Amino acid sequence: MPWRRLRLWAIALFGVGLAPIVAAPFYGFHDWPDFWAAGNVVGSADLVDAVRFQAWQAAHGLPQIPFPYPPAAAFLLRPFALLPFDVSFWVHAGVMLACAVAAGRVGARVFGLRTSVGVLSALAWAPVTGAIVIGQNTPFALLLAILAIKALVRGRDAVAGGWLAGLLYKPTLAAPLVGVLLLRRRWRALVVVVAGAAAWYAVGVLAAGGDPGWPATWLATLRGWLADDAIRNADKAVSITGLLARLSVPDWLPFLGGVLLVIAALPRVIHAPLREAAAGALLIGVAASPHAWSYEAALLLPIIWWALAGGIVEPWRTRLVVAAYVLAPFWMVSRQTVVSAVAVVVLGAAAVWLSGRWRGTPAEAPRRSAA
C-alpha cells in the first residue's frame, strides 16, 4: 500500500477504535471501577477477601467485582486512586495511550520497521484502543513484553527477565514468554523471573494487609470469578479454549483444545528465529488461553510486526494484515454477532503462523522496512 494511504487508514482506524471512549461515563467507566477500588484498599485485608472488597465497592456506589490480579499489582493503581474517580479514568487512558506509542516505537526497532509504521500499527489495532476505552491495561503489558523481546534478541537475558518479572502483574500474559525462556534455555533470564515472582509474593503480603497466606484466598476468589466472568462475557472470548467452553461439550474438551494448540506450536517456538518465536508464543498464548477477551489480543502486535517486516510474502502480507485490521473493530458489536471478530483474527493468525503458508524470510538482524 502507498505510504499516504497506509497512514490515512491507520489514523482512521485509530479514530474509530478510540471514539467509544466518549461514552465511557454513561457505562460507569466500564472495567475501571474495579481497578480504582483496588488502588484505594491496597495494603488492607479488604483487597483479597472478596466479601470485604465488594462490601467496600458497594459502600462507594461501585459495581461489585473481585480484584482478579495478584494483590501486589494494586500498588501500581495507587497513584490513580489518589485522584477523583472520573479524573483517574482519563489519566489512566492517557497513560495507556502513551504505553501503546512507546510499544510501537520499541517494536519498530526490534522488527526493523520504520518508527512511524510501528506507532501507527499499534494505535490502529482495535484491541489496543479497545483496552484504553474500557479502562484495561494491555497496552502496558504489550510494552513490557516487547521490551523483554528486545532484551532477549540483544542477549541481555537479565534485563529480559526483569521486564518479564514486571509482566507477572498478570501471570497469564507473562506465561508464553516464560515458556520461550524454558524452551530456549535462557536460564539467567529465568532466574530473574523466579526472583521477580518471589518479590511479587512478598509485596503481595503487604498489599493484602500482612496476610502471608494470601495466595490461597486469592486463588479461591479467582476460581469463582473466572466462572462468573466466562458466563457474563462469553461473546468476548477469543481463544479456542474460551470458544469451546461456550458449547455443550465435556469440561475437559476446551482444556484439551488449548493444550493441543500449544503442543502444535512447540516446534516453531523452539526452532524459529528468536524474534519470531517470541511473537508466535504471544499469539499462541492468547489463542490457547482459558480466559482471553478481545482486548488481550493487543499482544498480537509482535506477530503483526513480524509479518510487516517480511514474515509473510506479498501479496498475502497486505491481504491478511488489512483483513485483520478491518475485522478487529467489530469486537464492539460482539453482543450482536455472538462471536467476537477478534476471535476470527486470533485463530486465523494462529493457523497461518503454524501452517507456514505464505512464509517469508525476514532478516534476523534489525533492519528498516517501509512495511
pLDDT given at position 363 = 56
Check if the beta carbon of residue 333 is closer than 8 Å to that of residue 16. Answer: no
Evaluate the omega torsion of the peptide bond into residue 315 and state whether it is cis, within 30 degrees of 0: yes
Residue 194, number of CB atoms within 10 A of its CB? 13
CA distance 218 to 201: 12
SS (H, E, C) 5-37: HHHHHHHHHHHHHHHHHHHHHHHCCCCHHHHHH
Name the β-bridge partners of 288. Answer: none
Check if the beta carbon of residue 150 is closer than 8 Å to that of residue 334. Answer: no
Name 80's Cβ contacts closer than 8 Å, sequence gap at least 6. Answer: 35, 36, 39, 88, 91, 92
The cell numbers describing 169, all together, are 502483574
Q: What is the pLDDT along the chain (371 residues), one digit of tens a residue?
A: 788 888 999 999 999 999 999 999 999 999 999 999 999 999 999 999 999 999 999 999 999 999 999 999 999 999 999 999 999 999 999 999 999 999 999 999 999 999 999 999 999 999 999 999 999 999 999 999 999 999 999 999 999 999 999 999 999 999 999 999 999 999 999 999 999 999 999 999 999 999 999 999 999 988 888 888 888 888 999 999 999 999 988 989 999 999 999 999 999 999 999 999 999 999 999 999 999 999 999 999 999 999 999 999 999 999 999 999 999 999 999 989 999 999 999 999 999 999 988 888 775 544 444 33
User: What secondary structure letter does DSSP report for 364?
Assistant: S
CA distance 121 to 302: 10
CA distance 171 to 248: 29
How long a stretch of residues is the chain?
A: 371
Phi and psi at 293, nearest 5°, equal -100, 175
Phi and psi at 237, nearest 5°, equal -65, 135
The cell numbers describing 238, all together, are 477469543
Report the C-alpha dihedral over residues 280, 294, 340, 86, rounded to 10 degrees: -170
* Residue at 151: amino acid letter: A
Q: What is the pTM of this model?
A: 0.95
Inter-CA distances, 334 with 44, 103, 237, 337, 362, Å = 37, 27, 10, 5, 35
Check if the beta carbon of residue 345 is closer than 8 Å to that of residue 300. Answer: yes
Place of cell 467489530: 330
- Long-range contacts: 320-323, Cβ < 8 Å, 24+? 320/348, 320/352, 320/358, 322/1, 322/9
Helix axis angle, 157-167 to 171-183, nearest 10°: 150
Domain range list for the chain? 3-18+25-355
Check if the beta carbon of residue 306 is closer than 8 Å to that of residue 145. Answer: no
